Structure 1
């Protein structure tokens, strides 16, 4: 097929769609993660095994949220990157770090919940906070090793100032597609299968036994729903459309064109915005894993509803 017959790609779509999404994620994400991390700090001495993963999950979210203002400026400035090539790669690296650390720590939480519910006697006293810290360090290391190759792919146009793409330039898209496919399997598919296996077993066990505590069953079911929400909205569409869009770019580079190229690009840009929601939705995991944080959020909601009622300064502070 003649390359000139390729459908025109709507590069202006992200300029209108992504900035509002990034602004909302930045505001709500900072508030939610800030409250969660502040609660963990106040309860540091009571820090449990799973809470170590929650702490790292929050740190990964904050790290990416602090990069969002630069991406907002990039898209509001008609995709003109003015912060230099090195910082462009740092910004994209922080996005990948947040995304795959989030998936990694959610997997760790799922495994710990599985062991605590399905094999409580076998793991009682054998898994310590030290183990959780070591596992967290391993997750950060593995994600960094997976993400570092991405920084070697060019993300700027020749003048080094005009663009900051999240994958790479067209000349290197063939190699990037291969890297992205392997990255998807290692960083997303394998952790996802582990999470599904753990919670699938947990839910079957909770539903089949009548003597299981109702509160435990409800909390586990709610957490499962949150994980399904995260994976179905944020993670699965992003990885599918990212690789499909890269494949369409490879085909277009080879002179093979199809009408669905533009639709895939727009869908991939939408998923690029939705995947950022994980930074704002991850705090929902806090509420259903850590009982202290959940209780404090309920107190905060109660305090908000009772604002018109006069109360002393001490009562207001204790409501938080």
Structure 2
């Protein structure tokens, strides 16, 4: 621990140089990938079933965020000088948060509805989850994400009497309250969906590998989507939430006169995590590749065949009366 006057100075010059080229790359790749993904979704709309609604909304959250990147590129190119007004600053940050937590929400829906219910409980889920249900669930996700992200807009995004800044969090005067808010946000918007996704796919993996009748290709395709989602959560989402909260904690401690040498390292890690989290808009189209494969239908057909075999083996056919029964009835 050190005195406040000897606090290590955080290097803010790192941010602009690092984020500009990444934002430009993500903007180009993200638009191309999501444009191709939405086109693929349109061609496979009927084939994909009710999961198409979740994949569509996943793509819309990405497009919403990607359209804000040119303004952030201008912001960092002008050495963190915001020229688009305070209101649009908050709208830009709101779009980022909606994209982030909307992506997590719809990926969770795909995990639960498209994989878990269809594979682990195919007989219960078959025909019960309609397009109307998918639309209603999507609306609920949008509402929850908006409610979670809306308080962020009420925190100042610039210094007092200075609209030339556009913070992604808030100023030092409100950092304590913002830390409390973001901890709750992390729990409800990230941790709980992450645990639900892990639980669902853990159960799916067990079911796939215990069923000997399931062919190898089918297992690989189903588990591949699990690996993609784990990649998205571990690379894009986990570092962002970890270092966002640690950086806010460092700011709170600095404000209280408590300083540590790791502050500058946390700040740099925080900027890297911001790059990683924006990559989700370019990586989410990987879900399109596996969502339109007819994996669920094939697996459900195999599961039905296995259950019919067991049914025929242990349950007598009602259409054929056993001999002993006919003798008793004479």
Q: Same fold (TM over 0.5)?
A: yes
Partner of 2:162: 160
Structure 2 contact 48–293 (Cα < 8 Å) conserved: no
Question: Unpaired segments of 5 or more residues in structure 2?
Answer: 295-330
**Which residue number corresponds to residue 233 of structure 1?**
235
Aligned residue runs from structure 1 range 74-89, under 5 A: 74-89=75-90
Q: How does 1:102-117 map to 2 (within 5 A)?
A: 102-112=103-113, 113-117=115-119
Q: TM-score by structure 1 length?
A: 0.89
Cα deviation, residue 45, structure 1: 4.9
Deviations 1:138-185 (A, max 9, x none): 000000000000000000123433210100001000000000000000
Matched with 1:251 is 253
How far, CA to CA, are the matches of 1:287 and 1:160 in structure 2?
A: 46
8 Å contact from structure 2 (residues 47, 292) kept in 1: no
Q: Residue deviations 1:104-130, cap 9 Å, x none?
A: 000000001101001101111111011
Q: Deviations over 1:248-278 (max 9, x none)?
A: 0000000100000000000001001110000
Q: What value does the CA root-mean-square deviation take over the aligned residues?
A: 1.2
Equivalent residues, number: 292
Instruction: Give the deviation of 1:14 after TM superposition.
Output: 0.8
1:276 paired residue number: 278
- After TM superposition, list the pairs within 5 Å mapping 1:83-232 onto structure 2: 83-112=84-113, 113-232=115-234
Shift of 1:47: 5.6
Aligned 8 A contact 1:84 1:160 in 2: no
Deviation beyond 3 Å, 4+ runs, structure 1: 42-47
Residue 194 of structure 1, CA deviation:
0.3
1:220, distance to aligned residue in structure 2 (A): 1.2
| C-alpha contact (below 8 Å) 2:41/2:288 kept by paired residues | no
Q: Which residue of 2 aligns with 1:40?
A: 41
The equivalent of 2:24 in structure 1 is 23
